[in-house]
Amino acid sequence: MIIALDALGGDRAPRESIAGAVQAAREFGLEIALVGPRVLIEDELARYDPQPSGLHVVEASQAIGMGESPAQAVRQKRDAAINVAMRLMKDGGASAVVSAGNTGAVVASALLNLGRLPGIERPAIGAIFPSTDRGVLILDVGANSVCKPSYMVQFGYMGSAYMERIFGLQRPRVGLLNIGEEEGKGNDLAQEVYEKLKKTPLNFVGNVEGKDITAGAADVVVTDGFTGNVLVKASEALLEFAFGRVRRVVESKIQYRLAGLVLRDALREMRRRLEYAEYGGVPLLGVNGVVIVAHGRADAVAFKNALRAARETASSGLLAALTGIPKK
């Protein structure tokens, strides 16, 4: 199985993307197609001696910048790395695509080159939110700033299939993000989606409030891409902020610093588990292929984990499961 990596995608690419690929090849024996300008990639690869086997370079001459209009750039630059990677997968040369590039560009390129799965009107990006047990999949967190009720019902199906296949859950609990627990709460969109989700064969557990997510009230939390995006970005920043405050306290006195040294590794490990990098990117669901979106600030470890997640997702049968979603 080959995973295609958008080698230039991400704030810290190609240094960190290539480093992550080298680690993934070494540690997990992954085969990876490094897609991007050959010269740049080979320059980076030259840092590693010996180079692990399993790394292939696939030339792509164009790059999409963070400032460009993603949808336009993807259409105009047919040889952008993200387009080349998607085509490689479509043609059978790769089983999954990983990119830490502009999320809008990844979504647009996936739609352009792969298309949507039957029954899916809009793809969704899922993110794993920390919770008391195994984590909660929230979707959509940014592929759609405006959602119709039917899209969100499809998010419920996709999220359920994801948690079944990737986390091994049976009949995952699907909740609707809302501002109260009782039926009839929330804005018009939430109320309509509630009515529709109730009628599906999904294991719908009703409304889930913001405070219920970490409490593990559901395995899948359905929301529109506006609310989901605000929530996930703010939460990530808040965790960083809170741990920054912990660090500041620890560094404020010599006796705190000594105590901090004792705790450092254990806290770092705990924090890593809480954060997204270790989850290795988030899935773009609903397109006809396996696409993993890595964090824009991904470092080598995050790329390595995203590549591993891509392999797991590709071999999980998720794509086949996602084709069984009833058309509305």
- Tell me which residues touch a copy of itself (CB under 8 A): 130-132, 142, 145-146, 177-179, 185-188, 190, 209-215, 223, 225-227, 229-243, 245-246, 248-250, 252-253, 255-256, 258-260, 262-263, 266-267, 270, 274
| Residue 202: its H or E element | none
Closer to a copy of itself by CB, 58 or 147: give it: 147
Across-strand partners of 98?
Answer: 5, 292
Closer to a copy of itself by CB, 218 or 290: give it: 218
For the CB of residue 267, give the shortest distance to a copy of itself in the complex, in Å: 6
Q: What is the CA radius of gyration of the chain?
A: 20
User: Which residues does 323 contact at the CB level (< 8 Å), separation at least 6?
Assistant: 117, 118, 119
- For residues 158 and 323, give the distance between their C-alpha atoms in angstroms, rounded to a whole number: 9
Q: Assess contact for 6 and 85: CB atoms under 8 A.
A: yes
Alpha-carbon dihedral sign for residues 172, 176, 177, 178: negative
Closer to a copy of itself by CB, 228 or 289: give it: 228
| Two structure tokens written together for 36 | 């991007």
For the CB of residue 279, give the shortest distance to a copy of itself in the complex, in Å: 15
Closer to a copy of itself by CB, 95 or 103: give it: 103
Q: Assess contact for 126 and 119: CB atoms under 8 A.
A: no
For the CB of residue 187, give the shortest distance to a copy of itself in the complex, in Å: 5
For the CB of residue 229, give the shortest distance to a copy of itself in the complex, in Å: 4
The three-state secondary structure class of 1 is coil
CA angle 240, 272, 221 (to 5 degrees): 75
CB half-sphere exposure, 234, CA atoms < 13 A: 7
Closer to a copy of itself by CB, 36 or 142: give it: 142
Go through the chain and tell me how many residues it has.
Answer: 328
Q: DSSP strand E in the chain: where?
A: 2-6, 31-36, 55-59, 96-99, 124-129, 136-139, 173-177, 203-208, 220-222, 282-285, 291-293
Closer to a copy of itself by CB, 1 or 215: give it: 215
Determine if the peptide bond prior to 14 is cis (ω within 30°).
Answer: yes
Closer to a copy of itself by CB, 1 or 263: give it: 263
For the CB of residue 216, give the shortest distance to a copy of itself in the complex, in Å: 10
For the CB of residue 22, give the shortest distance to a copy of itself in the complex, in Å: 29
For the CB of residue 62, give the shortest distance to a copy of itself in the complex, in Å: 22
| Two structure tokens written together for 82 | 């993200």
